[in-house]
Amino acid sequence: MSDRIYNFSPGPATLPLEVLQQASSDIINFDGSGIGICEISHRSKEFMKVAAEAESLLRELLEIPDNYKVLFLQGGASSQFFMIPMNLLGNGKKATYLNTGTWSKKSIKEAKLFGEIDVAFSSEEDKFNRVPREDEYTVGEDSEYLYFVSNNTIFGTQFNTIPTSQKMLVSDMSSDILSRKIDVSKFGIIFAGAQKNMGPSGVTTVIIRKDLLECASENTPTMLKYKTHAEKESMFNTPPTFAIYIVGKVLKWLKQNGGIAAMEEMNREKAQLVYDVIDASDYYRGHAERESRSMMNIAFNLPTPELEARFIEEAAQVGLNGLKGHRSIGGCRASIYNAFPREGILKLVTFMKDFEANNPA
Ligand code: PMP
């Protein structure tokens, strides 16, 4: 596969090559059935098995307790911004949110449509360059949940320790699910769009404590109630079958490669290789404060926007693609999820050192 390049895109992002190879054959003839995976009925026994396997692998890998339901939904992670407060709030109920980036800001906006929202911390004035320490915010007694984005994809910050709170946690783990060990039992809801660490876009995984399925008011639209999807095992309507199929294959790959513990160790090492280059020079400046650094997305700047543009262009010429930072902060960003190969990191690190030597500030 020598014509494949290293793809640092934040999502949709790099998937394991083995998974893509298997999919390329299953797309024409799934598992010897004579029908391609995109053409099989979601109610067929073949697809029911695919969905059940994906769920069971996710349960095994994340050690999801039995009192949680796993849902595969559509509408992207962004639909969870309103589904969560729509199902859990209303009737004057309150929730606490931590504003650590674009995705938390968007979810705060939606949550305000349904309840009283206390934004207990914001790093917006500092261009979202960090997440809070625990002593920087409080969660009110009357709050239903504490909401946080565990990894801020755009700004390259991450909660390196999961907040501890008397209240249940609700978290957007779109860009770091399955990258490190977490204790699911501390959460009411965990959700993640698949397109970073799990598969292609089109499916959003929701892990929800079962008692919360009962919280939605009667006038909630059917499709927007978690209960609807839970009762029908995510088959209330046609689910995103191909995306779920790929998620299952990615989870299988993850298990075969040592599971979450192995991923976490590898992710730590991969990220450190890049941070070491940043720390060793004044040329590269990391966006995130050290204690808030993300293992998944590394956002950094060069001395000038012109050098950044040249860096991105020359990197692409040698097969290092997708290093442009998000338009809201500019600069550069390397997104290195579970499936991003270590060799690509080594190539980036060498490129960074050479670029600095050849392009003085
Ligand atoms: N949350 C996070 C942390 C994200 O990075 C993204 C998208 N990149 C979203 C939510 C929105 O996801 P979607 O496009 O699936 O709605």
Binned average pLDDT, 10 residues per bin, the chain of 361 residues = 89 97 97 96 96 98 98 98 96 96 98 97 98 96 98 98 95 98 98 98 98 95 98 98 98 98 98 98 97 98 97 98 95 98 98 97 88
> Are the beta carbons of 129 and 288 closer than 8 angstroms?
yes
193 lines ligand 1 (CB under 6 A): yes
76 lines ligand 1 (CB under 6 A): yes
- Residue 192: strand, helix, or coil: strand
Residue keyed to tokens 């280059």:
277
172 lines ligand 1 (CB under 6 A): yes
Q: Residues 69, 103, 176, 270: which is the catalytic one?
A: 103
Question: Which numbered atom of ligand 1 lies nearest the CA of 195?
Answer: 15
Distance, in Å, from the CA atom of 97 to the CA atom of 250, rounded to the nearest integer, reads 31
Pairing mode, strands 285-286 and 297-301: antiparallel
Q: Residues 26, 118, 172, 176: which is the catalytic one?
A: 172
How many angstroms separate the alpha carbon of residue 18 from the centre of ligand 1? 25
Distance from the Cα of residue 48 to its chain's centroid: 25
How many angstroms separate the alpha carbon of residue 174 from the centre of ligand 1? 6
pTM of the model: 0.98
Phi, psi (degrees; rounded to nearest 5) at 202:
115, -20
How many angstroms separate the alpha carbon of residue 103 from the centre of ligand 1? 7
153 lines ligand 1 (CB under 6 A): yes
Distance, in Å, from the CA atom of 206 to the CA atom of 140, rounded to the nearest integer, reads 25
Closest CA to 210 of 176, 244, 187: 187
11 lines ligand 1 (CB under 6 A): yes
Instruction: Write out the two tokens for 307.
Output: 């050098």
The reply to whether 354 belongs to the active site is no
149 lines ligand 1 (CB under 6 A): yes
Q: For a substitution probing ligand 1, which of 103, 149, 337 has the most ligand atoms within 8 Å of its CB?
A: 103
Beta bridge partners of 190: 171, 207
Distance, in Å, from the CA atom of 192 to the CA atom of 201, rounded to the nearest integer, reads 11
DSSP state of 293: B
9 lines ligand 1 (CB under 6 A): no
Question: Which numbered atom of ligand 1 lies nearest the CA of 201?
Answer: 15
Distance, in Å, from the CA atom of 23 to the CA atom of 328, rounded to the nearest integer, reads 35
Distance, in Å, from the CA atom of 278 to the CA atom of 287, rounded to the nearest integer, reads 10
Phi, psi (degrees; rounded to nearest 5) at 7:
-110, 105
Q: What is the pLDDT of residue 90?
A: 84
Beta bridge partners of 293: 157
**Residues contacting 282, CB < 8 A, separation 6+:** none
The reply to whether 253 belongs to the active site is no
The reply to whether 93 belongs to the active site is no
24: how many CB neighbours lie within 10 A of its CB?
9
Residue keyed to tokens 């890998």:
61
How many angstroms separate the alpha carbon of residue 332 from the centre of ligand 1? 19
Which amino acid appears at position 79 of this protein? S
Phi, psi (degrees; rounded to nearest 5) at 237:
-130, -175
Question: Which numbered atom of ligand 1 lies nearest the CA of 79?
Answer: 16
